[in-house]
């Protein structure tokens, strides 16, 4: 530490004694809770811990320019920042460490996220938005490295829209003239991720108020920076992005993590650029230390050199801050000792209070379970087994709900041949706690408020003498025209969406009519197109973002599944982003343009509605339904339907297609065929051919895959036909298998089947190119005809002899 004060120069930043000492208090408390939390993991009180040691000073400096209405899109080591802006108490810190599944104790995730994943609540218990301009806003953190970057583009882009579009002035609960800044934080190693580079580039192009803070501690777990970053410096690597006169780009600022006045000056400059001028900024915080190592999963002494460990001890930001305070006469040794001792006591009290509250929440379950088990011992013939189970639970140190439930279920297995009051009481208790645990752990995948799109009633299209038949592309173009005129919160972005109105003319002429802020071209950057939409949707806008072709959604899949799909769940209903992702697929030809990767969506998109309209009146109806609600949705338009004629309804802007409600396209008595999207036309063609040979099929369009047939209409069809085919153009075991599982398992349709159910899907490989490639890769009318014919031939071989 010799000579440290010589390295710190004076600054024009003026700070009061009270402010400096309060900053020191926060830094000391944050370090102490990190140390205490780490100990708790090793003691077995928590499963894992990741902490913010070494970043205390930089985060305090950042907090000084963070204003109400701003947003943090952050990194899971930002505990000091959250505490500095009043967004985190240390008892809440420990409650999340213990996974306390109560929103009153862990308001960030109700125990659903591991520790250090923060986020404030934006909506009330009716699902209505709170006033974001009065909140220090934090988007719920994600563990996937750099996953917080794409949405930061949208959070900042919303400020640009609020500042430049006067038609949004009425949304005063979301913005004050676009003065809000998004503070995005990230560890240096994670800047190697493509999401980071794409976000930096998008911010530089868009010129939006975002400040990227890179906490550079020289490592990514055990891998040093020379393996991570060109020139071993992200600020040097990004030097070409530096904004110059009359160019776009970003401002780049470098500050040392242990230098208090330098950090404060750096963030004051950054905030001036971002808030006042909407210029993005990179703040590269260098010489960050990490006193406790990466996490509780191992010691950093295994991979850091002796020299590096010495550096980390000597350049501990808290120690440097302490010496700076003393050398600048803000306090004396005795005053600082008092702060440090109180910080230790605060950490201890917070930890004890959180632990007691967590254990107290489990105590009623353990006490009632023990009481019921002991009663069962007295009444049951399985005394030995039940006594053993009871004693094991009684001697379990700090039992969790899993151990309680597991023991109770084992007891019921032991009493499976018995009937007595003790057993009945246990079953009643188990039913009650099952409901309680479902509420704790399985709720809020989608909106559970009155604002849910699931409550939107269907509105049928109406036709009159002016309802001419036009191409599908004209239907959707007319719809978007009416929508943009009616709803100022809606804007559309995507590749080729603006100037040419998208590759299929859905927005043709609408940029000229409504302006570039409403209908906007983007670069080829699917991940940040999605992120741009997520962030803007978080701020009260209703973006429609386009993935040009369905197959390209893989570029954005991590952002969709890790961030958007899990947002409402991981905040226990506290945050939302009602984004609409528009794309086109189905029956597109070629390996990379098949338009069919539905099974990936069904597996990854739980938390997002997946809608598959077969035509464009239906598509408009789904857009209307989603826009009336507060959930995100993926709407996949039929690529081969843009030039197919449809009647234009007189009430296009009012049409609503309810979610999870199939439509019967053709009635029949012999066989039910369940399908969706462009396959509807193929199945209908096959159904007409089958009718000519005496087979009458019932064709059902599911319309939406997530949610799926919420009223169980499909099983009612099967009760009539006793036979079923599930048809789609996904790979084997994909969407057709999903539909089969939903109907046979969930709806118990197997009870009414007289023939084996059949799934008709595409080949396992990517589809070959051109018409023949499509024909031999995906199901066609003949495929469907043959499958149905073979089922009926088994039933009535005389009527349906072998074909070939």
C-alpha 239/C-alpha 242 separation (Å) is 5
Q: What value does the mean pLDDT of the chain take? A: 95
Calpha distance 366→371 (Å, rounded): 9
Tokens of 433: 């706690």
> What is the per-residue pLDDT for 12?
45
Q: Give the burial string for 253-292 (b: 16+ CB within 10 Å, else e).
A: bbbbbbbbbbbbbbbebbbebbbeebbbbbbbbbbbbbbb
pLDDT tens sequence across 153-167? 999 999 999 999 999
Give pLDDT, residue 1: 36
Tell me: pLDDT of 687 over 70.
yes
Instruction: Give the chain's radius of gyration (CA, Å).
Output: 30
Over pLDDT 70: what percentage of the chain? 98
Q: What is the mean pLDDT of residues 532-542?
A: 98
Closest alpha carbon to 746 in 771, 712, 697 = 712
Phi and psi angles of residue 784, each rounded to the nearest 5 degrees, phi first:
-65, -45
> 11 falls in which pLDDT band (50, 70, 90)?
very low
Cis peptide before 707 (omega within 30 of 0): yes
d(CA 249, CA 203): 8
Q: What is the mean pLDDT of residues 601-610?
A: 96
Mapped to the 3 state alphabet, what secondary structure does 264-286 carry? HHHHHHHHHHHHHHCCCEEEEEE
Residue keyed to tokens 């001036």: 272
pLDDT at 610 over 60: yes
Residue 592 φ then ψ, to 5°: -105, 10
**pLDDT bucket at 294, cuts 50 / 70 / 90:** confident
**Tell me: the pLDDT tens digits for 649-662?**
999 999 999 999 99
425-467 confidence digits (pLDDT tens) = 999 999 999 999 999 999 999 999 999 999 999 999 999 988 9
Sign of CA dihedral 770, 775, 777, 780: positive
Whether pLDDT at 487 is above 70: yes
SS3 645: strand
Between residues 580 and 597, the one the model is more confident about: 580
Residue 9 confidence (pLDDT): 34
> Which tens digit of pLDDT belongs to each residue from 777-795?
999 999 999 999 999 999 9
Q: How far apart are CA 613 and CA 623, in angstroms?
A: 10
Residues linked to residue 73 through DSSP beta bridges, in sequence order: 184
- CA angle 465-471-474, nearest 5°? 85
What are 387-430's pLDDT values in tens digits?
999 999 999 999 999 999 999 999 999 999 999 999 999 999 99
Measured in degrees and rounded to the nearest 5, phi and psi for residue 637 equal -80, 155
Q: Which two tokens stand for residue 664?
A: 């019967």
Burial of 708 (0-12, 13-18, 19+ CB in 10 A): buried
If residue 546 lies in a helix (H) or strand (E), which one and from where to where?
strand 542-547
Q: What is the pLDDT of residue 291?
A: 85
Q: Which of 216-220, 295-299, 481-485, 508-512 has the lowest mean pLDDT?
A: 295-299
pLDDT at 495 over 80: yes
- pLDDT for position 15: 85
Strands 490-494 and 542-547: parallel
pLDDT of residue 6 exceeding 50: no
d(CA 114, CA 214): 22
Please give the average per-residue pLDDT across 711-740, as a whole number.
97
Strands 210-215 and 281-286 turn out to be: parallel
From CA 106, how far away is CA 96, in angstroms rounded?
5
pTM, full prediction: 0.95
What does the alpha-carbon distance between residue 412 and residue 395 come to, in Å, rounded to a whole number?
A: 20
Distance CA 509, CA 524 (A): 21
**Which among 774, 756, 758, 755 is positioned nearest to 766, based on CA atoms?**
774
Give the active site residue among 420, 455, 593, 696.
593
Residue with tokens 């934080």: 185
718-729 residue pLDDT tens: 999 999 999 999
In this structure, the dihedral spanned by the alpha carbons of residues 275, 278, 284 and 285, taken in order and rounded to 10 degrees, is 10
pLDDT of the residue at 417 = 96
Angle at which helices 781-795 and 679-692 cross, to 10°: 50
| Neighbour count for residue 699 (Cβ, 10 Å) | 25
Please report which confidence band the pLDDT of residue 299 belongs to, taking 50, 70 and 90 as the band edges.
Answer: confident
Question: Which DSSP category does 10 fall into?
Answer: P
CB 656 within 8 A of CB 458: yes
Cα–Cα distance for residue pair 448/429, rounded to 1 Å: 26
Alpha helices (H) along 293-382: 306-314, 317-327, 333-379
Asked if residue 761 lies in contact with residue 730, where contact means CB atoms within 8 angstroms, the answer is: yes
249-293 tens-digit pLDDT: 999 999 999 999 999 999 999 999 999 999 999 999 999 999 888
- Flag whether pLDDT at 587 surpasses 80: no
- 634, two tokens: 């993926």
What pLDDT sits at residue 4?
38
Estimate to the nearest angstrom the gap between the alpha carbon of 371 and the chain centroid: 42
The size of the chain, in residues, is: 804
**Dist. CA 154–CA 535, nearest whole Å:** 4
Catalytic annotation present for 593:
yes
| 700: DSSP letter | E
Torsion angle defined by CA atoms of residues 254, 256, 261 and 263, in that order, rounded to the nearest 10 degrees? 50
CA dihedral (561, 563, 567, 569) positive or negative: positive
Cα–Cα distance for residue pair 355/361, rounded to 1 Å: 10
Phi, psi of 190 (to 5 degrees): -70, -10
Residue 13: pLDDT band by 50, 70, 90 thresholds? low
pLDDT tens sequence across 109-167: 999 999 999 999 999 999 999 999 999 999 999 999 999 999 999 999 999 999 999 99
The Cα-based distances of 631 to 139, 455, 607, 658 in angstroms read 16, 12, 8, 14
pLDDT band at 2 (very low <50, low <70, confident <90, very high): very low
Of the pLDDT bands very low, low, confident and very high (cuts 50, 70, 90), residue 5 is: very low
> With the CA atoms of 197, 198, 204 and 205 taken in that order, what torsion angle do they form, in degrees rounded to the nearest 10?
150
| Dist CA 532 CA 540 (whole Å) | 13
Nearest to 630 by CA among 651, 609, 645: 609
* pLDDT of 593 over the 90 cut: no
Q: Are 373 and 396 in contact (CB under 8 A)?
A: no
**Confidence (pLDDT) at 652:** 97
Helix (H, G, I), strand (E, B) or coil at 215: strand
pLDDT band at 205 (very low <50, low <70, confident <90, very high): very high
């Amino acid at each position: 530490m010799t000579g440290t004060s010589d390295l710190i120069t004076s600054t024009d930043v003026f700070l009061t004694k009270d402010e400096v000492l309060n900053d020191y208090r926060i830094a000391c408390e944050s370090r102490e809770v990190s140390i205490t939390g780490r100990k708790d993991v090793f003691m077995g009180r928590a499963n894992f811990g990741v902490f913010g040691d070494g970043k205390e000073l930089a985060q305090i400096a950042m907090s000084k320019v963070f204003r109400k209405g701003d947003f943090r899109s952050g990194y899971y080591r930002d505990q000091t920042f959250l505490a500095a802006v009043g967004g985190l108490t240390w008892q809440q810190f420990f409650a999340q460490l213990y996974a306390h599944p109560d929103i009153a104790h862990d308001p960030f995730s109700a125990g659903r996220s591991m520790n250090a994943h923060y986020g404030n609540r934006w909506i009330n218990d009716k699902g209505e938005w709170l006033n974001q301009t009065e909140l220090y806003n934090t988007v719920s953190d994600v563990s996937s490295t750099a996953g917080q970057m794409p949405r930061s583009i949208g959070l900042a882009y919303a400020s640009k829209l609020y500042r430049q579009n006067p038609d949004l002035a009425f949304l005063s609960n979301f913005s004050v003239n676009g003065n809000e800044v998004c503070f995005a934080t990230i560890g240096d190693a994670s800047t190697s991720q493509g999401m980071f580079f794409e976000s930096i580039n998008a911010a530089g192009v868009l010129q939006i108020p975002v400040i990227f803070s890179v906490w550079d501690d020289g490592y990514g777990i055990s891998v040093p920076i020379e393996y991570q970053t060109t020139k071993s410096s992200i600020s040097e690597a990004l030097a070409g992005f530096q904004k110059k006169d009359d160019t776009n780009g970003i401002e780049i600022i470098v500050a040392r993590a242990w230098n208090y006045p330098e950090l404060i000056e750096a963030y004051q400059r950054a905030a001036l650029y971002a808030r006042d001028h909407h210029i993005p900024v990179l703040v590269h915080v260098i010489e960050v230390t990490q006193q406790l190592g990466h996490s509780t999963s191992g010691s950093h002494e295994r991979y850091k050199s002796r020299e590096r460990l010495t550096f980390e001890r000597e350049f501990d930001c808290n120690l440097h801050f302490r010496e700076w305070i003393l050398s600048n006469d803000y306090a004396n040794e005795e005053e600082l000792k008092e702060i440090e001792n109180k910080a230790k006591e605060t950490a201890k009290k917070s930890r004890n209070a959180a632990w007691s509250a967590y254990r107290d929440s489990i105590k009623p379950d353990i006490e009632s379970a023990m009481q019921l088990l002991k009663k069962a011992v007295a009444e049951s013939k399985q005394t030995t087994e039940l006594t053993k189970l009871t004693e094991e639970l009684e001697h379990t140190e700090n039992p969790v709900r899993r151990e309680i439930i597991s023991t109770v279920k084992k007891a019921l297995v032991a009493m499976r041949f018995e009937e007595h009051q003790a057993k009945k009481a246990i079953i009643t208790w188990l039913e009650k706690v099952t409901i309680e645990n479902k509420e704790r752990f399985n709720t809020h995948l989608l909106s559970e408020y009155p604002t849910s799109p699931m409550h939107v009633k269907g509105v049928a299209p109406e036709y009159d003498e002016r309802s001419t038949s036009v191409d599908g592309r004209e239907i959707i173009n007319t719809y978007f025209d009416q929508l943009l005129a009616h709803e100022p919160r809606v804007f559309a972005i995507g590749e080729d969406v603006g100037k040419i109105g998208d590759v299929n003319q859905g927005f043709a002429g609408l940029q000229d009519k409504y302006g570039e802020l409403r209908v906007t071209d983007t670069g080829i950057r699917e991940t940040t197109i999605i992120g741009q939409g997520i962030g803007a949707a978080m701020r009260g806008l209703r973006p429609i973002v386009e993935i040009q072709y369905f197959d390209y959604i893989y570029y954005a899949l991590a952002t969709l599944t890790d961030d958007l799909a899990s947002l409402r769940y991981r905040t226990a209903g506290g945050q939302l982003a009602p984004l609409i992702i528009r794309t086109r697929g189905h029956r597109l030809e070629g390996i990379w343009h098949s338009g069919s990767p539905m099974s990936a969506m069904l597996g990854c998109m739980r938390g997002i509605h997946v809608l598959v309209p077969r035509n464009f009146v239906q598509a408009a109806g789904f857009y209307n339904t989603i826009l009336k609600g507060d959930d995100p949705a993926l709407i996949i338009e039929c690529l081969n339907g843009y030039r197919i004629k449809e009647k234009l309804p007189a009430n296009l802007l009012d049409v609503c297609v309810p979610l999870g409600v199939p439509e019967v396209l053709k009635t029949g008595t012999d066989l039910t065929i369940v399908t969706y999207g462009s396959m509807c036309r193929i199945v209908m063609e096959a159904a007409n051919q089958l009718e000519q040979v005496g087979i009458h099929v019932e064709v059902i369009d599911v319309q939406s895959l997530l949610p799926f047939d919420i009223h169980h209409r499909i099983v009612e069809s099967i009760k009539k036909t006793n036979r079923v085919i599930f048809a789609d153009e996904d790979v084997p075991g994909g969407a057709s298998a999903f539909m089969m599982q939903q109907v046979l398992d969930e709806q118990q349709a197997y009870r009414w089947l007289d023939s084996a159910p059949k799934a008709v899907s595409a080949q396992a490989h990517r589809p070959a190119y051109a018409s023949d490639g499509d024909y031999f890769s995906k199901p066609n009318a003949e495929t469907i005809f043959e499958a149905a014919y073979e089922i009926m031939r088994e039933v009535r071989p005389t009527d349906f002899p072998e074909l070939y």
